[in-house]
Each structure stands twice: as C-alpha cells, then as structure tokens.
Chain A
Amino acid sequence: MNQIVSIGTSHHVAPVEFREKLAFSEEQLIESLHHLRESHKVDEAVILSTCNRVEVYGVAHSQRTTESPFKVLLDFLSNYHRISVDTLKKWSYRHHNLDAIQHLFRVTSSLDSMVVGESQILGQVKDAFDFSRSAGGAGAILNRLFAKAFSVGKRIRSETTIAAGAVSISYAAVELAKKIFNTLEDKTVAIIGAGEMSELTAKHLVANGVSKVIVANRTYERAVKIAEKFKGIPIAYEENLNFLIDADIVISSTDAPHYLIERKPLAEIMRKRKHRYMFLIDIAVPRDIEPDVSKINHAFLYNIDDLEAVVASNLKERQQEAVRAEQIVSEEAKRFHDQLQILEVNPTIKALHQQFQQIAECELKACLGKTTLSDTQEDAVASMTQAIVKKLLHHPVENLRHAVNDGNADHGQYVHALQELFALDNNDDKDQA
C-alpha cells in the first residue's frame, strides 16, 4: 500500500546548531527534489524548510516494497548535508502514515509552533508546497494531503480562538486601541523617548491605519532620526507637553527617573483637546506616567505590567484552545487517512467492474448474434446480464470497503489477492492522478 512518511526536526527536538545544518536554500531545494525524484526510490516529496523546522514529506506508492521510504529519506538527508545517520536519528522525528498526516495537520494548524496559534506557518507551508509542486516533487497524494492540511489549518483558526488575542505587547496595544477608538484612520500617535518596543508598536499602529506619527525626544537630532522611520514629525520637548493635545495614542518609553506626564497637566491638555479619548501606553521602567492619570475622564492608561498580563492571559487561553484544536486535528487526520485508503482500493474495484462488464458484454453479443429475439426480449436479456454482474460483485466490493473502513490492515492483501486471482492489470498511479 501507499506509504506516507515524514522526517523532520524542529525547535522541539533540536538546537539551532543542528537545524541550520539541515536547512535548505531555494537552489538546494530544487536540486534535492530533482535528486529524490530521479532516484526513483520515492514517488513524491515535499520539503519544508523554515527557521524553526526542516521537514521532508515523502510518498512511496504501493509497488515499492523493496526499500523503506524512511531509509531513503534518511540516507538522502545524511548524504546531502553530510551528517551521520545516527546524529540525524537522534535529533529528528519520524512519522508514518496516520502519524505523518496528523503531524502535518498539527504543523499547519500552528499547534506545533513555538507560539501556538501564530499565523505565519500556514503561509510558509503553502510556499514550500507550491515550490515543491512546481519543482515536480508533489504528486497526487501529497497534493491531496497538503490541500487538506491547509483547510484543516483554516478550520482550526475559524473554529477555535487559538489565533485570537494578541500575544505580543505591541499587538496587545493595537488591539486595545481598537477597543477604544471607533476607527484608527484619522488618529495620531506620539512616541516619547526611544526604544524598540515603542517603535514596533507605532509601526503596528500605522499598519492599522493611524495616519500621523509625532516623535518626541529630548534632543531634536534623535527625534529626527527616529521620525525618519515613520515619516513622522520630530519634536524636541523640554517641560512643555503641548504636543500631546494632538495625540490620541501616547507611547512613552523614556529613561527619565521621574514622572514625565502627571495628572494635573494632562487634565489641562485633555480639556484643550476637548476631551477626545487618549490612550496612554507606559512601557518605561521606572514609569513615565503618573498612575493617577487613569482617573482622568477619557484617558486610558496601560503600563507594561498591564500589557504583559493581557499577553499572558491570551497565551494561557491559546493553550486551552489548543486542546480542542488537537481533537479536531486527530479527527481530520483519521478521516483523511480512511479516505486515502478507500482511494487506494478504488482502482482495484474499478478494474474488477471493468473486467466483469467486458465479459458480460462480449458474451451477450455472441449470444444475441446466434438468436433472433424481439427488441424487448433483447433488452430483457441485457438487463439480466447487468443484474448478474452487479450481484456477483456486490459482496466482494462491499467487504473490501468494509475492510478499509474498519481499519483492517489486511486490505492490502485483499487487493493483492483480487489482482492475482482475477489477473487484473491494475495501474493505480494513473487512476489516482
């Protein structure tokens, strides 16, 4: 029977030192896929190579029973990257059939990712698959398998909240802004001080529609330098915080030892901006914004701990959701596995039907040639032959399907026996394509 195997390594089992040795560049991918195909030891292959994982999926069609596809892939990887088979075995996982299917589904559903529910992996697998397909690696079975894996990935995302809720500080800030403002389109963000986190948050806000960026710094030169990144407006501030009148979102991350924004002056600023909402994010330690600011009407203050609590609870929730997602993945993998097996016996069933049909037609022709029957009589004889063919085949076909559905591992033997006994010329590669 067809075998689906996968061998791979990821951040779960191997350190980066090993993963980088196993990684493929684009040229290497083309070369490897060609090599694998030319070797005629596996029939289909897809290679996935990202910074967190390298995985090779292979399919060996039923005719090949000589060499284990695992061994083929292991040998190939070991030769290609000049790593001993033992080392490879130590730092990798190997999955077979149902397990391989389930593993791929887990990967595309981002259940196997470092951050569960992250959104990039689905695109990465898609790219890898498209690449392998255009390089001639993927065939009928892997096409089906990956198409299903993508739909499972999407299903998990829509039916669970595994990908909901921001799991980084900067996204949490964007999500919060969306809960406060009707729209971000005409809003202004002010960054006070410098820092990677505040710049990242500003970047996400701009990507979500914020139209204006004010960059405030103690020195004008630094403000200009940071402002360049966002096409922002540089401002040098001393004690005067009047630029906040225009700011709807304020991100503060200075290294000032005291509060930069205090309640009273901010209340005055809020009055000047006609009490439009202001969302203040204090990611500085020690804090830049007096906590009492949150008592001002329409001013919403979140500090670094608040944001981290949001992130932590979202992460926790994703993990809870992951349990449900795993269930869906198991069900889908089982179903796909069964379908694949039914698909495997279909060509045999078809060939059997064809053979019986042919014999029936042949004999019918011979018989009708010898007799003179009316049209209605001829029709009756023809439908009788059809009925006989149908009834003869009913039990063998049904039992074969049952053997597959019940997960009876012997169905391969059944297929083999049928092919031998009825001398079927079974070419299932063609039929499945």
Chain B
Amino acid sequence: MSTELLHFLFLVTVLVYLAASIFQALYLAIGERSETPTLRPRIASIAFWGTCLGFVLLTLFIALWWSREGHFPMKHWTDSTAFFAWAITLIYLIVVRVTQLRAIGSLVIPGAFITILISYSFSRNTSALPENLETYWLVPHITLIFLAYAAFFTAFGFGLLYLMAEKKIRQKTNMLFHNLFPSLGASDELGYRCTILGVILLTIGMIVGVLLTQYIKNLTWRWLDSQIFFTVVTWVIYVVQISIRQLWGWRGRKAAYSEIVGFIAVLCTYIGVNLFLDSTHTFR
C-alpha cells in the first residue's frame, strides 16, 4: 500500500474520531435537556458506532503501517500516541460491553481523539528501530503498558464523572434526574476496577520489560533509567491507592482525586520523561 494511501486512511480515521468525540460529548451534555428523549438514543448510537468505526479504521491503519515497516512501529511519538488512542478505545469498548454505561465515552473518547490528533500532527516518517530492539517481546511489553495507561485514563474519567455527579447531588440541582451520569456508587466502583486492571496490566508489562532485557544484545542497561523510575513511582501510587481503599475505605471523592493524581503521574511518565529526560524508552 502506498504511503499516500496510508496517510489518507489515517486522515479518515482522525475525522471519524472527531465526529465520534463530538457525539460522545453531546450525549452527556444534552442529558439535562428535557426535550431530547427521542434524540438521545440516536446520539448515543451514533457516538457508539462511530467509535467502533474509528477503532476498526485505527486497527487497520496500525496493522498496515506495521506490515509496511516490517517491525512493530513504536519508535516515534506519532506511533506511540496512535497506539495509546487505540488502547483507550479498546478499554472503552470493554467497559461499555461489560457495564452498558456509556457516559464514560463522553470523557475518554475525546481524550482518544486528542491523542490521535497529536499523532497526526507529527510527520510520519519511516523510522528504523535500533536493531537490538527488534524482538517480539517488545510487542507484549508495550501493548500491556499502553493498555494499563488506558485503564488508568478510564479510571481518571470515572473519577471526573464521580466528582461532577457528586457536585450535582450536593448542589441539589433540579435537573438531577435527567442527567445520564452513572450513580456515585457505580462511578466509584468502576473507577476502582479500572485502577486494578491497570495495575495488573502494568505489573505484567513491567515484568515482560525486565525479561526483555535478557534478549537484547548490547543493551546499555541502566537500572536508573528515568522512564523506569517514573513508571515504578506511578505503580507505587496506584498500589498505595488500592491498599488505602481496602484498609480505610477511601472511596468516593478521595478515590476520585487519587485516580486523577495517578493519571497525572502517568502523563508525567509518558510525556514528561520523553520530552525532557533521556531514556532508552524515548519516543523521538
């Protein structure tokens, strides 16, 4: 497949994500308006199926790009952000499938759109991986870590949903019953489950990463690689959060805040380290 065609496919994907994000956001935004009961299911289904379409296109694009490059395309920012968007959408689809709660899409799908837009804004050049990193162990390592990040992002979304809904309940807004926010209990519980999922994925991903070092020749391995350091910090933050919840019943607002703090740590790890520090893990 020619490069132009691939670029065009990616552009279409970005536009589909844009449309899906708009409808996802509308879904929650118009929830409080009374004259929308017939419109609402239509918006909901456009948002959902638009997201599905975007996901299929993005999967197709990554697969084609992969086969064109001949190795897992994960060297440049443009690769990793597209992959992050893919992971976010996958987690969203799983959450909707399991819980039937669609409100979370209003927050995470626009997030996925922004990541994919960042990906689009970088020029997409063929970039060879360092030869010594060309091992199949790299695929599960990166996939697991990005799925973990996506799970943390979804937990962050549920944290926000919780805070927004709690504010409405405390303010005793009149339109309380129309909004489509999940109940406080549901947001709290799902945020927690996403956090646990993220921790499990991150843990396995890190273990795979350690194993990976065994297969890489000539690795200038540093245990104090900044990316590794910050990932461990993130991991600790989440594990502490889960423990505190189990021990002292930190739920609701505190849990929501810690989900937000946790995701900020993820962002620092992912963006901050890549931009400002030097690491084997840098996407450049």
Chain A nearest Cβ from B45, distance in angstroms: 16
Contact with B along A200-235 (1 / 0, CB 8 A): 000000000000000000000000000000000000
Give the interface size bracket for B toward A. Answer: 20 to 34
A182 touches B189 (CB 8 A): yes
A294 touches B170 (CB 8 A): yes
Q: Which of A161, A179, A320, A321 has the most CB of B within 10 A?
A: A179
Stretch at the interface among B13-21, B33-41, B232-240: B33-41
- Closest B residue to A318 by beta carbon equals B34
B174 CB within 8 Å of chain A: yes
A24 CB within 8 Å of chain B: no
- Residues of B47-89 whose CB lies within 8 A of A: none
B249 CB within 8 Å of chain A: yes
Q: A179-B165, A298-B251 are in contact. Are A165 and B177 (CB under 8 A)?
A: yes
A302 touches B172 (CB 8 A): yes
B210 CB within 8 Å of chain A: no
B250 touches A275 (CB 8 A): yes
Q: How many residues of A contact B (CB 8 A)?
A: 33
A154 CB within 8 Å of chain B: no
Q: Which of B170, B172, B181, B189 has the most CB of A within 10 A?
A: B172
B185 touches A181 (CB 8 A): yes
B249 touches A179 (CB 8 A): no
B177 touches A324 (CB 8 A): no
A276 CB within 8 Å of chain B: yes
A159 touches B37 (CB 8 A): yes
A324 touches B35 (CB 8 A): yes
Q: A183-B185, A298-B251, A321-B34 are in contact. Are A166 and B174 (CB under 8 A)?
A: no
B219 CB within 8 Å of chain A: no
A277 touches B184 (CB 8 A): yes
A343 CB within 8 Å of chain B: no
Stretch at the interface among A256-264, A308-316, A329-337, A422-430: A308-316
A44 and B253 CA atoms in complex are apart in Å by: 63
Contact with B along A144-183 (1 / 0, CB 8 A): 0000000000000011110011100000000110111111
A274 CB within 8 Å of chain B: yes
A300 and B168 CA atoms in complex are apart in Å by: 11
Q: Does more than half of chain B's interface fall in helix, strand or loop, or is it mixed?
A: helix
- Residues of B245-284 whose CB lies within 8 A of A: 248-254
Which residues of the partner chain A approach B185 to less than 8 Å between Cβ atoms?
180-183, 277
Which residues of the partner chain A approach B170 to less than 8 Å between Cβ atoms?
294, 300
A298 touches B37 (CB 8 A): no
B169 CB within 8 Å of chain A: yes
- Closest B residue to A295 by beta carbon equals B170
A338 CB within 8 Å of chain B: no
Q: A175-B177, A179-B165, A294-B170 are in contact. Are A276 and B183 (CB under 8 A)?
A: no
Which residues of the partner chain B approach A321 to less than 8 Å between Cβ atoms?
34-35
Q: A306-B172, A310-B174 are in contact. Are A276 and B34 (CB under 8 A)?
A: no
A297 CB within 8 Å of chain B: yes
A241 and B224 CA atoms in complex are apart in Å by: 55
- Residues of B145-202 whose CB lies within 8 A of A: 165, 169-170, 172, 174-178, 181, 183-186, 188-189
A300 and B171 CA atoms in complex are apart in Å by: 10
A317 CB within 8 Å of chain B: yes
A396 and B252 CA atoms in complex are apart in Å by: 74
Q: A300-B169, A300-B170 are in contact. Are A164 and B183 (CB under 8 A)?
A: no
Q: A179-B184, A310-B172, A317-B34 are in contact. Are A161 and B252 (CB under 8 A)?
A: no
Chain A nearest Cβ from B243, distance in angstroms: 14
13 contacts across the A-B interface (CB closer than 8 A): A159-B37, A164-B34, A164-B37, A179-B183, A181-B183, A182-B183, A182-B188, A182-B189, A276-B249, A297-B252, A302-B172, A310-B176, A313-B174
Q: Report A's interface with B, CB cutoff 8 A.
A: 158-161, 164-166, 175-176, 178-183, 274-277, 294, 297-298, 300, 302, 306, 309-310, 313-314, 317, 320-321, 324
Q: Report B's interface with A, CB cutoff 8 A.
A: 34-35, 37-38, 165, 169-170, 172, 174-178, 181, 183-186, 188-189, 248-254
- 17 extra interface residue pairs, beta carbon distance < 8 Å, beyond A164-B37, A166-B177, A306-B172: A161-B37, A164-B177, A175-B177, A178-B183, A181-B185, A275-B248, A275-B251, A276-B249, A276-B251, A277-B184, A294-B170, A297-B252, A298-B253, A300-B169, A300-B170, A310-B172, A314-B177
Closest 7 CB pairs of A and B: A182-B185, A274-B249, A313-B174, A182-B186, A275-B249, A181-B185, A161-B34
